[in-house]
Amino acid sequence: MAQGFTLIEMMIAVAIVAVLASIAFPAFQDSIRKGRRADAFAGLTAVQQAQERWRANNPSYASNAQLTLGVNADPPGLGLLNVSAGGYYDIVISGNSGAGYTATASAAAGKSQALDGNCAQLRVQVVGGNILHLAAPVGGEFTEGSGNRCWVR
């Protein structure tokens, strides 16, 4: 009696593994992207803290030009990087005034975070002491609300 697998049995096993992998791999990639959002959250939190320190001594919040300038530079700045610690997001400040600012973390070009759907761009908007957490796909409109699952609160 011969033991072993026939070619047909081996092909069926390979086909089953291929189907399972095609289902599992995208879900795995989505989980990785969701975990990497923490990189954007940390970068935006650092901007918020630096902005509040800056605003305590200045008449308005810092601009994007002051984001990367050192705190002891002339003129001084926030002393932060314009990319997140992991390099997955580019960070930009806009709309700075005495009452608020907007900080946006956009998925870096060429990184898999750009495929993070409606969470490819994350934004913190400070308006008159109120903080809004917004999200958008690449090149899309920012939204806030219960449908926004990008920000875990």
Residue 6 has pLDDT above 60, yes or no: yes
Residue 153 has pLDDT above 90, yes or no: no
Alpha helix ranges (H) inside the chain = 7-55
Number of H helices, E strands in the chain: 1, 4
Q: Read off the pLDDT of each residue in 77-95 and give the average, rounded to a whole number.
A: 95
Band of the pLDDT at 28, cuts 50, 70, 90?
A: confident
Percent of the chain exceeding pLDDT 70 equals 95
Strands 121-127 and 100-107: antiparallel
Residue with tokens 């060429």: 110
Q: Is the Cβ–Cβ distance between 50 and 70 less than 8 Å?
A: no
Per-residue pLDDT, 120: 92
